[in-house]
Amino acid sequence: MLNPSWLKTFVTLIETGHFTKTAEKLFMTQPGVSQHIKKLEDACGHPLIARQNKSFEITEAGKTVYDYAKQLDVQQAQMLSALGHDDPYSGTVSLACSGSLALMLYPHLLDLQHQHPDLVTQVEAAPHRKVLADIISGEADIGIVTHAPTDPRIESEQFGVEPLCLMLPNTASTQAFTLQDLQQLGLIRHPDAEHFLSLFFSQCGESELENINISALPVKGYVNQLSQILLPVAKGLGFTVLPKSALDAFPLKSEIAVYQPKQPVVEPLYVVTKRHRQTPARFDTVKDIIRQQLS
């Protein structure tokens, strides 16, 4: 990389046309100016000026170096200007959250990008542990989790709650449910099934369901693609528990019945960011969209 001080001296020399004036302008000695020019020529491997007694003419190589140095000045000015301008509608924001939340939020984030094309949101569906790991590593700017993290490197704020639903084929009764009813239907498993079932049974306020041994439920299928989990339920092949947002995004929701427990079951939703990280204005723009949808 060419020495910036040499380039500055060279540009000043070309623009003043005189070694003495260059020295005065840069608070240098005239021999110091000559030394900078000589070192720059040595670094470039070409003469940059053709000396003629006390005057000089810029060479073709010198014109190239001069143009390059001026471009650097412009780029530096643009960079310094950008540092002082925090545009809330420009830049990239990466969001990590569950698959069901990704399905719910992504269309709204696309609407935001349609309004502000320079604001690009990248969404990754990930489990709780990976969301937190990506926030800490910086791979994700914003995350959404269902448990307030205790890691001191992470800041969290509750933005809302997500209802959990026991989802059945629409031919099944949505009245009081028993272990026998669930065993007859069978479970459609997915990566979060045990967690959601435990939460639902413990919070639903029904003793018959609270005492169910989840491992004793017969499994009628397993799917790890969120968009496909409700398909076997719609076809009458079993039941499952998922966040309501998964049902909202399912195209065959008319084929799904939702059991109404005595007590509604919800999971809190926390938006997480890396502690002490300076957050640009565009993060707040995306957070506002998330807040609107989760509140």
Q: CB 107: neighbour CB atoms within 10 A?
A: 11
* CATH 3.40.50.720 for the 163-266 domain, yes or no: no
State the CATH class of domain 4-83: mainly alpha
CA distance 107 to 289: 11
CA distance 143 to 97: 6
Phi, psi of 2 (to 5 degrees): -70, 140
295 residues of the chain, pLDDT tens digit each: 789 999 999 999 999 999 999 999 999 999 999 999 999 999 999 999 998 877 899 999 999 999 999 999 888 877 876 776 688 999 999 999 988 888 889 999 999 999 999 999 999 988 888 999 999 999 999 999 988 999 999 999 999 898 999 999 998 766 667 778 888 999 999 988 888 999 999 999 988 888 888 888 999 999 988 889 999 999 999 999 999 988 988 889 899 999 988 899 998 999 999 998 888 999 999 999 999 988 7
Domain boundaries of the chain, sorted by first residue: 4-83, 91-161+268-294, 163-266
Question: Is there a contact between 204 and 163 (Cβ–Cβ < 8 Å)?
Answer: no
Q: What is the pLDDT of residue 84?
A: 65
**DSSP codes of every residue in 83-112:** HT---TTSEEEEEEE-HHHHHHHHHHHHHH
Q: Helix/strand/coil (H, E, C) string of 200-260?
A: HHHHCCCHHHHCCCHHHCCEEEECCCHHHHHHHHHCCCCEEEEEHHHHHCCCCHHHEEEEC
Assess whether the region 4-83 and the region 91-161+268-294 belong to the same CATH fold. no
Structure tokens at 11: 């540009």
* CATH 3.20.20.70 for the 91-161+268-294 domain, yes or no: no
Whether the full predicted model's pTM is greater than 0.75, yes or no, is no
Q: What is the pLDDT of residue 98?
A: 86
Q: CB 43: neighbour CB atoms within 10 A?
A: 14
DSSP state of 279: P
CA separation (Å) from 127 to 118, 245, 283? 29, 16, 21
Phi, psi of 263 (to 5 degrees): -115, 130
Residue 271: its H or E element: strand 266-274
Angle at 62 between CA 59 and CA 63, to 5 degrees: 95
